[in-house]
């Protein structure tokens, strides 16, 4: 039995699905730049959930969208002097590349706003027709007073956070939010019964869910910063349009922080998934970001990255020793630890307990490894295969760099952050001797290539 924390009830509840199938939606990125590792953590949490559903023998219909129409995209297009389409296309490609490199399971569908425009327009028209939305000038707004259950998820009511960016004068009520924005000169637009314009952010998820998964889904996932207002708005839009509950489970993951601040583009304290990949590789990124419980905060420090690296090293050492085992035998068994690890996954995706059980088995192995037989080795390897299936760890290329070079790179990044440029130069030379050429990036990170 799978138990998940449901944000709707603030409780751990057993997941029951109809027809052995989980209909699962995870809010995807807005494609106006490279994703940062906080965004990547979200994609990895969705990935872990899907793997856990599969291990329980469930079919999964998994949808993750790309927001390819948005104010931020239009803004970035102006900065670069290119079209919004060019920005959205480029960063959809770049984000897909990051997803592939970090070994993320492909969703069943990855819809875009531009590809779902008919479904979006249909839903807005329905909301108007049912009296839950109104046209004001060239815009359409959702009327919050027609949705008395608003706030069920966040226990909050609309505050000015959601009206700040909108044209208050056009609304019947400050709390109302936009479904359709009339086009302004130079902005992308689509024809609709409400005039030329483009959809607001919230309506796209509601429309895509209905188009790809139906009117009621099992699990909806996103970052905890989306609970309000985004998910609250999704709920009222969908439920007022269909008359049915949108999702039975709402699952939210915590932030990634740096120096105790939430990592976000607006705060400017981001490490992109790309920079991480280039510096540390995908395997360490995946392991570092998934090893904490999904609901807790991941705080990024050099020590924690280093200890994740040590953890991976212990795993791979044990794996090598299992592959080489040729002793007389230690009767190594993994059935009970595997069952306990599965139970940890099913208990609200308890990855810390999962890995602590796994490391327990590795310790046990290490104590007797010198006498282990081939059969013993195969038992441990089968546990590794299970870990890979459940978490993706073990399936990605190991660090492309030798440990020594990786440690020097990390030390050099730190030296630069401390503005100790003499030390940074010394480490650059040391790296070059190991065949690694370091290139400093404008954003303070470093790229490397083998020479
Ligand atoms: Zn969404």
CA 121 / ligand 1 centre spacing (Å): 17
Number of helices (H), then strands (E), in the chain: 14, 15
Q: What spacing in Å lies between the alpha carbon of 63 and ligand 1's midpoint? A: 11
b/e map 68-104, b = 16+ CB within 10 Å: bbbbbbbebbeeeeeebeebbebbbebbeebbebbbb
Ligand 1 centroid, distance to 250 Cα (angstroms): 12
Buried-exposed string 203-224: b where 16+ CB fall within 10 A, e elsewhere: bbbbbbbbbbbeebbbbbbbbb
How far does residue 349's CA lie from ligand 1's centre (Å)?
Answer: 22
| Residues 128 and 141 sit within 8 Å (Cβ to Cβ) | no
Ligand 1 centroid to residue 239 C-alpha, Å: 15
**What is the CA(158)–ligand 1 centre distance, in A?**
17
Beta bridge partners of 220: 25, 250
Closest to 354 measured CA to CA, from 304, 391, 392: 391
**Rounded CA separation 88/189 (Å):** 15
Full set of structural domains in the chain with CATH: 3-258 (3.40.50.620), 403-450 (no CATH)
Whole-number Å distance, alpha carbon 27 to ligand 1 midpoint, is 4
Of the chain, the end-to-end C-alpha distance in Å amounts to: 52
pLDDT at 259: 75
Q: How far is the CA of 235 from the centre of ligand 1 (A)?
A: 10
* Contact assessment for residue 234 and residue 154, using Cβ atoms and an 8 Å cutoff: no
Q: Kindly give the distance from the C-alpha atom of residue 82 to the centroid of ligand 1, in angstroms, as a whole number.
A: 27
| Count of CB atoms situated within 10 Å of the CB of 416 | 17
Ligand 1 center to 61 CA (angstroms): 16
Let me know: does 42 contact 245? Beta carbons within 8 Å: no
Distance from C-alpha of 332 to C-alpha of 389, rounded to nearest angstrom: 21
CA of 24 to the centre of ligand 1 (A): 12
Q: What is the pLDDT of residue 397?
A: 52
Q: How far is the CA of 231 from the centre of ligand 1 (A)?
A: 6
What is the reported pLDDT for 161? Answer: 47
Whether 274 contacts 303, CB under 8 Å: no
Under 8 Å between Cβ of 103 and 282 = yes
Quick check: helix, strand or coil at residue 390? helix
Return the beta strands (E) in 345-441 as ranges: 436-440
- Centre of ligand 1 to C-alpha 365, Å, is 45
Task: Report how far residue 394's alpha carbon sits from residue 231's, in angstroms, rounded to the nearest whole number.
Answer: 34
Q: How many A from CA of 66 to the centre of ligand 1?
A: 10
Output the CA 202–ligand 1 centroid distance in Å: 6
Q: How far is the CA of 221 from the centre of ligand 1 (A)?
A: 8
Dig out the tokens for 88 from the structure. 């959205």
Distance 205 CA to ligand 1 centre (A): 5
Cα 110 to ligand 1 centroid, rounded to whole Å: 13
Whether 32 contacts 70, CB under 8 Å: yes
Query: For residue 159, what pLDDT is reported?
Result: 59
pLDDT tens digit at each of 451 positions of the chain:
999 999 999 999 999 898 899 999 999 999 999 999 999 999 999 999 999 999 999 999 999 999 999 999 999 999 999 999 999 999 999 999 999 999 999 999 999 999 999 999 999 999 999 999 999 999 999 999 999 889 989 888 765 445 555 667 788 888 899 999 999 998 999 999 999 999 999 999 999 999 999 999 999 999 999 999 999 999 999 999 999 999 999 999 999 998 778 877 777 778 999 999 988 889 999 999 999 999 999 999 989 999 999 999 899 889 889 988 999 999 999 999 999 999 999 999 999 999 999 999 999 999 999 999 999 999 999 999 999 999 999 876 555 556 677 778 888 988 888 889 999 999 998 888 777 788 887 777 787 776 6
- What is the C-alpha to C-alpha distance for residues 245 and 39, in angstroms, rounded to an integer? 27
CA of 222 to the centre of ligand 1 (A): 7
């Amino acid at each position: 039995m799978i138990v998940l924390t449901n944000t709707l009830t603030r409780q751990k509840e057993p997941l029951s699905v109809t027809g052995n199938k989980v209909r699962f939606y995870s809010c995807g990125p807005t494609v106006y730049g490279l994703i940062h590792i906080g965004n990547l953590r979200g994609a990895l949490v969705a990935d872990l959930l899907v793997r856990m559903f599969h291990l329980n023998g469930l079919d999964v219909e998994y949808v993750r969208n790309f927001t390819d129409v948005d104010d931020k995209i239009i803004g970035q297009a102006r900065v670069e002097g290119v079209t919004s389409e060019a920005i959205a296309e480029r960063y959809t490609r770049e984000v897909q590349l990051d997803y592939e490199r970090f070994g993320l399971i492909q969703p069943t569908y990855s819809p875009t706003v531009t590809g779902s425009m008919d479904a979006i327009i249909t839903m807005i028209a329905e909301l108007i027709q049912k009296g839950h939305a109104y046209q004001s000038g060239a815009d359409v707004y959702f009327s919050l007073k027609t949705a008395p259950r608003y706030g069920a998820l966040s226990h909050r009511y609309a505050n000015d956070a959601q009206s700040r960016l909108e044209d208050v004068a056009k609304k019947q009520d400050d709390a109302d939010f936009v479904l359709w924005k009339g086009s302004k000169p130079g902005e992308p637009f689509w024809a609709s019964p409400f005039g030329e314009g483009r959809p607001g952010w919230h309506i796209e998820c509601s429309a895509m869910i209905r188009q790809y998964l139906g009117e009621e889904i099992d699990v909806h996932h996103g970052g905890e910063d989306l609970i309000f207002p985004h998910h609250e708005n999704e709920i009222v839009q969908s439920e007022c349009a269909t008359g049915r509950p949108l999702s039975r489970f709402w699952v939210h993951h915590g932030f990634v922080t740096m120096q105790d601040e939430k990592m976000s583009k607006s705060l400017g304290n981001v490490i992109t998934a790309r920079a991480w990949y280039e510096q540390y590789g995908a395997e360490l990124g995946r392991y570092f970001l998934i090893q904490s419980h999904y609901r807790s905060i991941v705080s990024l420090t050099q020590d924690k990255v280093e200890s994740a690296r040590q953890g991976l090293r212990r795993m791979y050492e044990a794996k090598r020793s299992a592959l080489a085992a040729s002793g007389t035998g230690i009767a190594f068994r993994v059935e009970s630890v595997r069952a306990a690890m599965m139970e940890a996954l099913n208990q609200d995706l308890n990855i810390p307990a999962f890995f602590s059980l796994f490391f327990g088995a590795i310790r046990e192995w290490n104590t007797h490894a010198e006498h282990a037989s081939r059969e013993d080795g195969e038992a441990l390897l089968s546990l590794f295969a299970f870990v890979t299936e459940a978490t993706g760890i073990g399936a990605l290329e190991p660090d492309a760099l030798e440990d020594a070079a990786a440690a020097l790179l990390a030390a050099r990044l730190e030296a630069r952050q401390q503005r100790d440029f003499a030390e940074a130069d010394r480490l650059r030379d040391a790296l070059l001797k190991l065949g690694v050429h370091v290139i400093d990036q404008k954003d303070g990170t470093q790229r490397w290539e083998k020479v």
